[in-house]
Structure 1
Amino acid sequence: MKKTVYLLALSALLLGGCSESDDSTMIASAADQTNDIPGYYDGYVLSPQVTDDRLLQETGQNKRDAKGEATVKAVNMDSETYKVGPVELIVAESKILQLEPDYSLIDFFHSYTHEQEFEVMKMFVEITNTSDEPIHFAPVALLETAEEELKLWEDDIYLEELNGELAPGETKTGNVGFIIEKGGIESINITTSDVFDSKDKQIAKAVEFNTQFE
């Protein structure tokens, strides 16, 4: 029942209707020397709120920049592809990050948590409208941890405008991320939104999938 309510709320948003460059001030970590930035990040504009984690691809790797510090607690670098009606959803990577934001960003994160350090489950996704008609879709409507902690689409800290309309043939890429407070990071269940056409008609039901972490 809860899932139904959450999905209906997201559906209403979908039917209704800036990122900045990363600061140059950075402290290099071992990850900078051993990993390459994955190709699916080509053209990606870094989040103005969250430490750049593109080089962090293994558990234990760490990076500090002007936005704070990020440490990988768990990771799944295996790409998975899902079909949601006319939408092709690619989850390129999934990570659990321990974040310690810079003091200058405390006010932003206080709208999500009052902790100074916290864990974030984040995914880099690509969504494509394979049809010749505009549609409305969100890659994550509901997230549930192994400890049954629930997060909704509105809890996303990346704010990269992946929810909403996709024009015919359009592809969007970016991060979605949610603060996890109760642990239970061994696996995460994700439920997408339903897919709607331009006349508010449901044309595909949501898909649920599970991401396992090392």
Structure 2
Amino acid sequence: MKKLVVLLSLTVILSACSAQASTNKDSNKDDKEKVSQSSEKKQTSSDVYVPNPQLTDDRSLLEIGQAFKDDKGVSSLKAIKKVNETYRIGDVELIIHDVKVIEHTPSYSMIDYFHGFTHEETFDFVKANIEIKNTSDQPVYFSPIAILESSTGEHRDWEADIYLEELNGELAANGSKKGNVGFILDHSDKEVEWVKIFTSDLLNEEQKVTNKAQEITIEF
């Protein structure tokens, strides 16, 4: 467990460093999102949708077997868990809206991007639609999914995220972010029964640990 805590601490520090270049961009985004979220305790994943440049829009995939095709590829739903739960790590609220297992075949124009993660033409990935909120008046550093494990033996860290929606790193005072995190599965021939999500530790403005990482199990 000590090794896990150390790993998660290092993870959030690394992700915080990588996010420095986008701090101004994130701050502007946070300001806009705070206006739209002013009086709601919880929002659904469809309130505000920003298309991902790499992956197919899966919002319509709500029943196993449903498929959707666009210019980025074809996605088919293999499993879904509508979570809609809020988990608190210190001053941060992590809202997990849903978790899905999706079979995806990227379009020809997207193949080069995914070759950085897999050489399979069709692959499965697990993704979570999430939201994080900083309820304090001080900035913090946090990674909502620092590590993901599955019943099929997968072990992925934040660097393997295929969505790249900048949810790691600095979270502004009273700020929020929302989006998707996803990881390609090597064992697509096996049914995913559960996934474990390990958040990072929560770090304050001086990047000192204020709250330990949390482990969350999602069963399909």
Classify the TM-score, shorter chain. Answer: 0.7 to 0.9
Which residue in the other structure is 2:60 paired with?
55
Which residue in the other structure is 2:79 paired with?
74
Which residue in the other structure is 1:174 paired with?
179
Mapped contact 1:57–1:77 kept (Cα < 8 A): no
**1:95-106 to 2 correspondences below 5 Å:** 95-106=100-111
Which residue in the other structure is 1:198 paired with?
205
Mapped contact 2:5–2:212 kept (Cα < 8 A): no
**1:18-167 to 2 correspondences below 5 Å:** 39-167=44-172
TM-score, normalising length from structure 2?
A: 0.83
Aligned-residue CA RMSD in angstroms? 1.7
Displacement of 1:12 after TM fit? 2.4
User: Is there any run of 5+ residues in structure 1 with no aligned partner, and where?
Assistant: 19-37
1:188 to 179, 185, 195: 195
Displacement of 1:80 after TM fit? 1.5
TM-score, normalising length from structure 1?
A: 0.86
Q: Partners of 2:162 and 2:202 in 1: how far apart?
A: 23
Where 2:11 maps in the other structure, the secondary structure is helix
Amino acid of the residue matched to residue 98 of structure 1? E
The structure carrying a bigger helix percent of its residues is 2
Displacement of 1:4 after TM fit? 4.2
Amino acid of the residue matched to residue 197 of structure 2? I
Q: Partners of 1:184 and 1:191 in 2: how far apart?
A: 21
Which residue in the other structure is 1:35 paired with?
none
Mapped contact 1:137–1:193 kept (Cα < 8 A): yes
Mapped contact 1:100–1:116 kept (Cα < 8 A): yes
Mapped contact 1:140–1:192 kept (Cα < 8 A): yes
Displacement of 1:14 after TM fit? 3.6
Displacement of 1:39 after TM fit? 4.2
CA distances 1:9-56 after superposition (whole Å, capped 9, x unpaired): 3132144239xxxxxxxxxxxxxxxxxxx9432222110110110111
Q: Partners of 2:52 and 2:210 in 1: how far apart?
A: 32
CA distances 1:90-116 after superposition (whole Å, capped 9, x unpaired): 000110000000011111000000000
Q: Partners of 1:165 and 1:39 in 2: how far apart?
A: 23
Pairs aligned (count): 194
User: Is there any run of 5+ residues in structure 2 with no aligned partner, and where?
Assistant: 23-42
Mapped contact 2:12–2:169 kept (Cα < 8 A): no
Which residue in the other structure is 1:21 paired with?
none
Amino acid of the residue matched to residue 105 of structure 2? E
Q: Partners of 2:68 and 2:168 in 1: how far apart?
A: 29
Q: Partners of 1:127 and 1:42 in 2: how far apart?
A: 15
